[in-house]
């Protein structure tokens, strides 16, 4: 019975990794579609989000079955509960990548943002992709140095997000109301993607150390 239980726990961990890989792929395609107005890539991201949703539901059902049938305690219980919460964060990251792709599709054949903001959003996309890629490594290895890298990338995105709102609030901002809304929404999507990545990183840290560290890793 214990062997079966451990196999089920392993499968939950493998499903988390699988979801994280799909999220990383979604962000890569969403960012590219956003940057170069590639509507085909945008459509790929939007369609593929259903797979992430399905895997999250499947993982959650498996975790709930383990809770009901196996009665895990101590570190195993932390693993199951943590997996439920991490799957929710990963699913939300997939949704945010979809939102970015939907903006790209909405404004096609134009790009979403004005040329003056291109560099800022390219940096945000780069940091989000770094976070997504490192989440895969973190979930596979539980290396807390990787978790710290995720926090650093998130701090960079927070600074970039703030700079976007300062720019659109500046007296010399001359873009249309529609563009202003697009810029604000896009910045928020990139920023929230990173926040959910940090949430996963902190939960992995808790699983490894048994200590919750809400202010850092």
Check pLDDT > 90 for residue 73: no
Model confidence pLDDT, tens digit, residues 3-20: 666 788 888 899 999 999
Rounded to two decimals, the pTM is: 0.93
One of 1.10.3480.10, 3.30.230.70, 1.20.58.220, 1.10.286.10 is the CATH number of 2-209, namely: 1.20.58.220
Q: 52 pLDDT exceeds 80? A: yes
What integer best gives the mean pLDDT of the chain?
92
Domain boundaries, the chain: 2-209
Is 150 a residue whose pLDDT tops 70?
yes
Residue 45 to residues 41, 58, 99, 105: CA-CA distances in angstroms? 6, 20, 9, 11
pLDDT at residue 98 in the model:
98
- 83, 59 Cβ separation under 8 angstroms: yes
Q: In the predicted model, is pLDDT for residue 183 greater than 50? A: yes
């Amino acid at each position: 019975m214990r062997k079966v239980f451990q196999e089920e726990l392993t499968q939950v961990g493998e499903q988390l990794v699988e979801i994280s890989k799909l999220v990383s792929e979604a962000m890569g395609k969403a960012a590219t579609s956003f940057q170069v107005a590639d509507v085909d890539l945008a459509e790929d991201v939007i369609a593929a989000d259903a797979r992430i949703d399905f895997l999250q539901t499947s993982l959650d059902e498996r975790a709930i079955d383990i809770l009901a049938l196996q009665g895990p305690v101590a570190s195993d219980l932390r693993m199951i509960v943590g997996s439920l919460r991490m799957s929710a964060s990963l699913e939300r990251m997939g949704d945010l990548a979809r939102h970015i792709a939907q903006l790209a599709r909405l404004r096609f054949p134009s790009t979403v943002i004005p040329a003056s903001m291109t560099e800022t959003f390219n940096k945000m996309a780069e940091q989000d992709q770094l976070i997504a890629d490192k989440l895969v490594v973190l979930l596979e290895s539980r290396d807390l140095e990787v978790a710290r890298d995720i926090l650093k990338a998130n701090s960079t995105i927070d600074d970039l997000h703030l700079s976007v709102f300062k720019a659109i609030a500046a007296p010399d901002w001359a873009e249309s109301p529609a563009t202003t809304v697009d810029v604000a929404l896009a910045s928020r999507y990139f920023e929230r993607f990173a926040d959910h990545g940090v949430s996963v990183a902190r939960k992995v840290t808790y699983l490894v150390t048994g200590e919750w560290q809400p202010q850092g890793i």
